[in-house]
Structure 1
C-alpha cells in the first residue's frame, strides 16, 4: 500500500506493528529468533515491527505460529484489512467498474446526519445533475482507464443516492470555489442546467450552499476536496486513491478547515448572484 500523509493511516499501522511486537515479547523471543522460525531475513522482522513494511496475511499467520499465538491471527488479519481499507487505490476500487464504487458508499450516506463537503473544482456529487454527472464519470472512466464501461449504471447509482437530500433529518453544508461555477468537463448547456439546479437544491431548508469568491486577501487558500460525515470520518479523493480518515484529531482539523473556508464564503442572494453571473457568461 502506498505511503500516505494521513496520520490516521500511519497510526493504524503503528498499532498493528505494536501488537505484533507484543506477541514476540510475550513468547520470550527476539527478532532473530522470530526470523529463524519464520525462515525470514532479520531485516524483515525489523521492518514489520517498526511499521516500515506492511505485513501480508500470510506473514501474520507465520508470525503468530512462531509465537505460539495462532488463535490471534484472525484478529490481527482483520486489523490489517482495516488499515488497507483506509487508503485504497482507484484501480482497486474501480476494477469492477464505476457503478459498484457508487453503490458501496450509500450506507455511509444513509447513516450520516450532518454532511459537510468542500469542493474546489467541481460540484459535489449530491448536487450534480444527470448530465453533469455523466460528464464527470465519463471523464473518470477515460482518465483512469477503467476497463469496464458501466458509466450509465454509475450515473444512475449517483442519482439514486441523491435521495438522502430529502429523506430523514439530515443537514447538508456545501462549499465550492467560485471557479467551479465556470469550470466544466461538458458544454455550456450542461453547465447552465447545473447552475440552475444549484438554485433549486439551495432552496431546500436543510441545505446550505456557500460560494467562496475569487479575490485577494484570502485567509485560507484552496485545499483538497473533502467530505465530513458527522464527526466520524473524512473522505478525501486524491489523484492516486481514496483516503478515509477516522483519527479524531485529524477529523477535527478538517472540521476546523471547513469552518475557516465557510467564513470566507457568501450565501443566499450573494451566492445566487455569482451563479447568475456565471450563467450569463455562458451565453
Structure 2
C-alpha cells in the first residue's frame, strides 16, 4: 500500500488542469500571480498540487484566464477532491461502534453493491467473532478504546439484514489469500469459513473466489466497495477514500469486471473455501 493519500493524485490532476487554463490564456505563472495579487510561488504550488486553492483563488484564476464560465465546475471539482480523503483520526471521531451505522441509507438506496477484497473477509460476510478480532487489531493500531470492540462487532451484524433481500444485490470477489489471513485464530477462522459457505447459497448474493496460483490478467490490489456506478469507497490503514467522479467509478467497474473473469463461483468457490480451511489447519 502506498504511503501517499489516494486524493493526492486528484490534487495534482486538478493543478494540471488549472495550468492548462493558464497556458491557453498565454499567461506565465508570474503574470497570473500579478493579476491575482499573489506571491509568484503560489501559482507553482497550486499547479503542482502542493497547495489547495480556495474557492476565491479559483474564481480569481478563472477570471484572470478569461474562463469565468468554468468557475462553478472548477469549484465543484475542488470540493469533491477535498472530501475524497478522511484521515483515520477524523474518520474514527464518532467511534467504531457508531461508524457501523453510517452507510445504512446508502445501502438501502443502492441497487448493486460490488465488493472486492484481497486481504480479509468483507464486513458484510463476517461473523461477529471475526469482526471482534478485526476491530481489536484496528483499535490497537490506532489507539482506539478496546471497550468499543464488542459493540462495534454487534453493530456490524445489523448491516447483514440487507443480504439475500435483493435490495441491494451483492457481488463479492475475494482473493483466496483473504481466506487464509488468520484473523482471530483457528476457531474463529473455522466459524468464518462455515459462514461463507452458508452465505454463498443466499439469493441475490454472489461470492467469487480468485484461486491462488491462477494465471493473472489483472494483479491483486486494494479492496474497494462500488455502489452502483455512482460511488467508490476504499479503506486504508491510515484513512478512508471515496469518490463519485464518473471517470473513477467507470474505471473501477472495468477493474471489477476484469477481476471477476478470474474468479470461480458456486461449487468451485465453495471448494476454494474448503481448500483454505485445509491450508489453515496445516499451518
Provide the TM-score with structure 2 as the length reference: 0.78
Partner of 2:138: 140
Partner of 2:162: 164
Q: Deviations over 1:89-138 (max 9, x none)?
A: 11220134212332222222222110111111101110001000111111
CA RMSD of aligned residues (A): 3.5
Looking at structure 2, the residues matched to 281 and 90 of structure 1 have their Cα atoms a distance apart, in angstroms, of: 33
Q: Which runs of 5+ in 2 are unaligned?
A: 22-26, 64-72
Q: Deviations over 1:197-242 (max 9, x none)?
A: 1111111110011111111522222111111110002112223221
| Count of aligned positions | 264
Alpha-carbon shift at residue 164 of structure 1 (Å): 1.6
Alpha-carbon shift at residue 188 of structure 1 (Å): 0.8
Task: Name the SS for the 1:252 alignment partner.
Answer: helix
Looking at structure 2, the residues matched to 277 and 265 of structure 1 have their Cα atoms a distance apart, in angstroms, of: 15
Provide the TM-score with structure 1 as the length reference: 0.78
Residues 184-193 or 79-88, more deviating = 79-88
Looking at structure 2, the residues matched to 12 and 101 of structure 1 have their Cα atoms a distance apart, in angstroms, of: 31
> 3, 6, 18: which one pairs with 1:4?
6
Q: Deviations over 1:156-180 (max 9, x none)?
A: 2211112121445321111111122
Partner of 1:22: none
Q: Is the 8 A contact 1:176 1:210 kept in 2?
A: yes
Q: Is the 8 A contact 2:112 2:168 kept in 1?
A: yes
Partner of 2:33: 31
Q: Which runs of 5+ in 1 are unaligned?
A: 20-24, 68-74
Task: Name the SS for the 2:261 alignment partner.
Answer: helix
Partner of 2:228: 230
Residues 42-51 or 98-107, more deviating = 42-51
Partner of 1:89: 87
In 2 relative to 1, CA 110–191 (structure 1 residues): closer, same or farther, beyond 3 Å?
A: same
Q: Is the 8 A contact 1:17 1:51 kept in 2?
A: no
Partner of 1:70: none
Looking at structure 1, the residues matched to 172 and 198 of structure 2 have their Cα atoms a distance apart, in angstroms, of: 14
Looking at structure 1, the residues matched to 158 and 42 of structure 2 have their Cα atoms a distance apart, in angstroms, of: 47
Residues 252-261 or 141-150, more deviating = 141-150
Partner of 2:241: 243
Q: Deviations over 1:47-98 (max 9, x none)?
A: 347754114xxx6569879x9xxxxxxx998875533221111122013421
Alpha-carbon shift at residue 150 of structure 1 (Å): 1.8
Partner of 1:267: 265
In 2 relative to 1, CA 277–34 (structure 1 residues): closer, same or farther, beyond 3 Å?
A: closer
Task: Name the SS for the 1:256 alignment partner.
Answer: helix
In 2 relative to 1, CA 271–240 (structure 1 residues): closer, same or farther, beyond 3 Å?
A: same
> 165, 175, 181: which one pairs with 2:179?
181
Partner of 1:200: 198
Q: Is the 8 A contact 2:207 2:265 kept in 1?
A: yes
Task: Name the SS for the 1:118 alignment partner.
Answer: strand
